């Protein structure tokens, strides 16, 4: 008999319709196990244990909640378990998948996050299938590492490496991945690997011996003093006057070509904004850039010349969570910068 630990955090998969709205329900999460136990998809060789360190809709997730979740998992003796499954809300699933990937980069059992598009009682819900597929993946394949699993609108149960899941699209409710390459998919209870030069082979995951880095459950800090800015025509940086309550860093998103407004000065100038932040001791990162060694637009080069710190080959979701970890771990900005831009914890680099 294989034992799996299920970690409930709330989200739609643990919610019920209450009047005109949807909200987390105390019994909603645990009913998922009961539903699974009574379903045709149930594996007879699996025993499920459960804990619930959080019970919230994922749009309300904070850095403190990530610490609560990670600490609760670390305090469990995982020796009896062949894998663990975290049920989560879909709104911030990609961010949590990245953060858990960093914090549990050296885990030697499958760590699978999954979610649901609708409450379980809704006929449109994919929650039960996602949960069943997550169990099949964890118990069957036994791949060490952090993954996210979610069924798309074509009923394909896609498996993502935890640092390679992009946020759900607003209108389609579909998750993505850099280069649109998931790690694989589940078919009839079995994992099918997606062969690609960017994906580490399953055997390499099993054979790899990742360098463990140990964080203390009593002193883990994730710093949320990071401001994320998305570019658009007419973005006026004069509205970002931080005063005394200033962030430690800014993560500035880029257009698909790795650019943002690089006019010399004025309220719409990112180069001027970078210079102003530098004077205040605020680090400015730009992301995503596929490959810094590739030919860049002149506007991108001007941003770098102005002092922007490049985070290359990472999705914005992975970059943001890594910055929160970096500035939580290190007081010195130089050390945080080195951690964010030079370390590789869990396959977060998406090679060209």
Q: What does the pLDDT look like over 176-219, one tens digit per residue? A: 999 999 999 999 999 999 999 999 999 999 987 777 678 999 99
Rounded to 10 deg, the angle between the 63-74 and 93-103 helix axes is: 50
pLDDT score of 207 = 87
pLDDT at 25 > cutoff 70:
no
pLDDT score of 145 = 96
- Bridge partners, 158 (sequence order): 150, 185
pLDDT score of 24 = 60
Q: Which of 207, 241, 269 is the last residue of a domain?
A: 207
∠ Cα 48 98 228 (to 5°)? 140
pLDDT band at 135 (very low <50, low <70, confident <90, very high): very high
pLDDT score of 11 = 85
pLDDT at 339 > cutoff 90:
yes
Are residues 76 and 165 both part of a single domain?
Answer: yes
pLDDT at 261 > cutoff 90:
yes
Candidate from 10-19, 229-238, 240-249, 288-297 with smallest mean pLDDT:
10-19
pLDDT at 15 > cutoff 70:
no
Is residue 215, in this structure, part of any structural domain at all? Answer: no
Distance of CA 64 to the CA centre of its chain: 15
pLDDT at 352 > cutoff 80:
no
Are residues 10 and 138 both part of a single domain?
Answer: yes
Are residues 311 and 200 both part of a single domain?
Answer: no
Is residue 148, in this structure, part of any structural domain at all? Answer: yes
pLDDT band at 98 (very low <50, low <70, confident <90, very high): very high
pLDDT score of 209 = 75
pLDDT band at 18 (very low <50, low <70, confident <90, very high): low
- CA 237 vs CA 241, 262, 310: distances in Å: 8, 12, 20
Distant-in-sequence contacts of 292-296, Cβ < 8 A, 24+ apart: 294/352, 296/258
pLDDT at 22 > cutoff 80:
no
What's the CATH number where 93 sits?
3.40.50.1170
C-alpha radius of gyration, the chain, whole number: 21
Are residues 196 and 289 both part of a single domain?
Answer: no
Distance CA 119, CA 161 (A): 25
Are residues 267 and 174 both part of a single domain?
Answer: no
How many independent structural domains does the chain possess?
2
The mean of the pLDDT values for the chain is 93
- Name the catalytic one among 9, 12, 259, 321: 12
pLDDT score of 296 = 76
Give catalytic status of residue 12 as yes or no.
yes
Is residue 347, in this structure, part of any structural domain at all? Answer: no
Report which DSSP code applies to 180: G
pLDDT score of 21 = 52
Is residue 285, in this structure, part of any structural domain at all? Answer: yes
pLDDT at 29 > cutoff 80:
no
pLDDT band at 28 (very low <50, low <70, confident <90, very high): low
pLDDT at 85 > cutoff 70:
yes
pLDDT score of 41 = 86
Are residues 132 and 254 both part of a single domain?
Answer: no
Are residues 249 and 298 both part of a single domain?
Answer: yes
Q: Does residue 281 come out as left (phi exceeding 0), alpha (psi in the -120 to 50 range) or beta?
A: left
pLDDT band at 293 (very low <50, low <70, confident <90, very high): confident
What's the CATH number where 273 sits?
3.40.50.40
Q: Which of 143, 178, 207 is the last residue of a domain?
A: 207
Are residues 304 and 243 both part of a single domain?
Answer: yes
Are residues 16 and 89 both part of a single domain?
Answer: yes
Containing structural domain, residue 194: 2-207
Is residue 249, in this structure, part of any structural domain at all? Answer: yes
pLDDT band at 110 (very low <50, low <70, confident <90, very high): very high
């Amino acid at each position: 008999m294989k034992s799996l630990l299920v970690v409930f955090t709330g989200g739609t998969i643990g919610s019920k319709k209450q009047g005109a709205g949807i909200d987390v329900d105390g019994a909603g999460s645990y009913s998922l196990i009961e539903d699974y136990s009574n379903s045709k998809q149930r594996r007879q060789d699996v025993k499920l244990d459960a804990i619930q360190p959080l019970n919230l809709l994922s749009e309300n997730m904070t850095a403190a909640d990530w610490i609560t979740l990670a600490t609760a998992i670390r305090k469990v003796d995982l020796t009896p378990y062949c894998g663990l499954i975290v049920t989560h809300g879909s709104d911030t699933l990609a961010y949590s998948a990245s953060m858990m990937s960093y914090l549990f980069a050296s885990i030697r059992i499958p760590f699978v996050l999954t979610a649901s598009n609708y409450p379980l009682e809704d006929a449109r819900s994919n929650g039960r299938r996602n949960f069943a597929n997550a169990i099949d993946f964890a118990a069957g394949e036994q791949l060490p590492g952090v993954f996210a699993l979610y069924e798309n609108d074509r009923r394909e149960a896609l498996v993502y490496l935890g640092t390679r899941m992009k946020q759900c699209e607003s209108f389609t409710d579909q998750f993505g991945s850099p280069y649109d390459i998931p790690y694989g998919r589940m078919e009839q209870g079995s994992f099918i690997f997606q062969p690609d030069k960017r994906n580490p082979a399953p055997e390499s995951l099993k054979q790899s011996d990742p360098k463990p880095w140990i964080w203390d459950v009593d002193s883990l800090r994730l710093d949320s003093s990071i401001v994320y800015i998305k570019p658009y025509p007419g973005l006026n940086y004069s509205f970002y006057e931080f005063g005394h309550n200033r962030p430690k860093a800014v993560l500035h998103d880029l257009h698909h070509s790795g650019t943002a407004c690089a006019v010399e000065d004025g309220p719409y100038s990112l180069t001027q904004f970078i210079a102003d932040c530098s004077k205040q001791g605020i680090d400015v990162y730009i992301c995503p850039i596929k490959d810094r060694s590739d030919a860049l637009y002149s506007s991108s080069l001007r941003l770098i010349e102005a002092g922007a710190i490049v985070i290359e080959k990472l999705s914005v979701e992975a970059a943001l969570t890594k910055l929160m970890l970096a500035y939580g771990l290190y007081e010195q900005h130089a050390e945080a910068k080195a951690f964010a831009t030079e370390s590789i914890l869990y396959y977060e680099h998406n090679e060209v």
